[in-house]
Homo-oligomer: A and B are copies of this chain.
């Protein structure tokens, strides 16, 4: 499952780190909506569905905050923010189709309402519009990074698809969450710096911020999968493990309890024994694996905050700081 939750479109609008970019987010949304002009009406309906399904808009907010902080031209920031949000949504559309997921953020997925062929093509169309917007920033290195990041995300998904389910190493886990989540967030903050009038060291600082934020974001996501309430996170507790996807809290639990029969079962690949896996979900949720994982996320956040210190002192920097703190304290 991806790092998105049940949350209304405006669910985070009152949180302080969104306030410097309220206008920018509205402009971004308008630009996203306009991408279906002239295309088949059902594509407009699909974009509308995706927009109204909510999602935190953390990626466009990051693009806007970094760009505003560093003095990028307003139109380029908005274009980049829309491109990133569309790329993210295109991968989600195909992802939901692949998972056979019927709900995302508590709302029906496109997949639940459309035929698979229409869903494949809608994802492709959104990719195409994302690529066009990325090109509209008139920045070739950005365009290349954009294409490379898509390749990293898709390669990660394919690797996950082709890998045997069951216990995995921490190393593989980090690779997976980089491809799945951190790569796009890293690209977002990095490219937003790239369109700004700043030197290479600032671009690198913003890349480091995004990378660490993204890693922490997915680890917390994976913790909440064990500790969250279904009503809050919009999916069943332990849904990853129940599908045989082993995340950091479970890896820590397995390391600490190698003789637990359910862990042995997981190692040998029998994750399809539902009762065992449900028991394991409860055990992991109460274990020190949760705390250890959150400590790791905290470590990533510290590494994210460090490069912020050298940035201009402004409300956007404060917002980027608050956003990073929110990542590890959130409950949904």
Q: How far is the CA of A117 from the CA of B159 in the complex (A)?
A: 12
Q: How far is the CA of A57 from the CA of B106 in the complex (A)?
A: 46
Interchain CB contact under 8 A, B158 and A42: yes
Q: How far is the CA of A318 from the CA of B94 in the complex (A)?
A: 44
Stretch at the interface among A3-11, A121-129, A221-229: A121-129
Render A73-101 as a binary contact track against B, CB cut-off 8 A, 1 for contact.
00000000000000000010010011000
Which one of B91, B118, B131, B159 contacts A150 once the chains associate, using CB atoms below 8 Å?
Answer: B131
A interface majority secondary structure: helix
**A residues 277-314 touching B (CB-CB < 8 Å):** none
**A residues 123-179 touching B (CB-CB < 8 Å):** 123-125, 127-129, 131-132, 134-136, 138, 140, 143-144, 146-148, 150-151, 154-155, 157-159, 161-162
Which one of B40, B135, B158 contacts A118 once the chains associate, using CB atoms below 8 Å?
Answer: B158
Which one of B98, B121, B155 contacts A39 once the chains associate, using CB atoms below 8 Å?
Answer: B155
Most buried by B among A91, A120, A159: A120
- Flag whether A43 is at the interface (Cβ < 8 A): yes
- Flag whether A116 is at the interface (Cβ < 8 A): yes
- Distance in angstroms from A97 CB to nearest chain B CB is 6
Chain B residue contacts of A121, Cβ below 8 A: 94, 98, 154, 157-158, 161
Chain B residue contacts of A91, Cβ below 8 A: 124
Q: How far is the CA of A127 from the CA of B116 in the complex (A)?
A: 19
Interchain CB contact under 8 A, A94 and B120: yes
Q: How far is the CA of A140 from the CA of B134 in the complex (A)?
A: 10
Total identical chains: 2
Interchain CB contact under 8 A, B128 and A158: no
Are A158 and B40 also in contact (CB < 8 A) when A127-B127, A131-B150, A148-B132 are?
Answer: yes
Are A161 and B131 also in contact (CB < 8 A) when A39-B151, A155-B39 are?
Answer: no
Which one of B40, B98, B144 contacts A162 once the chains associate, using CB atoms below 8 Å?
Answer: B40
Q: Which residue of B lies closest to A36 (CB)?
A: B155
Interchain CB contact under 8 A, B125 and A154: yes
- Distance in angstroms from A164 CB to nearest chain B CB is 14
- Distance in angstroms from A88 CB to nearest chain B CB is 13
Interchain CB contact under 8 A, B151 and A129: yes
Q: How far is the CA of A151 from the CA of B86 in the complex (A)?
A: 13
Q: Which residue of B lies closest to A94 (CB)?
A: B120
Interchain CB contact under 8 A, A128 and B150: yes
Q: How far is the CA of A138 from the CA of B118 in the complex (A)?
A: 33
- Distance in angstroms from A127 CB to nearest chain B CB is 6
Interchain CB contact under 8 A, B144 and A136: yes
Interchain CB contact under 8 A, A159 and B128: no
Chain B residue contacts of A39, Cβ below 8 A: 151, 155, 158
Chain B residue contacts of A151, Cβ below 8 A: 39, 125, 128-129, 132
Chain B residue contacts of A158, Cβ below 8 A: 39-40, 42-43, 118, 121-122, 125
* Interface, chain A (partner B; CB < 8 A): 39-40, 42-43, 91, 94, 97-98, 116-118, 120-125, 127-129, 131-132, 134-136, 138, 140, 143-144, 146-148, 150-151, 154-155, 157-159, 161-162
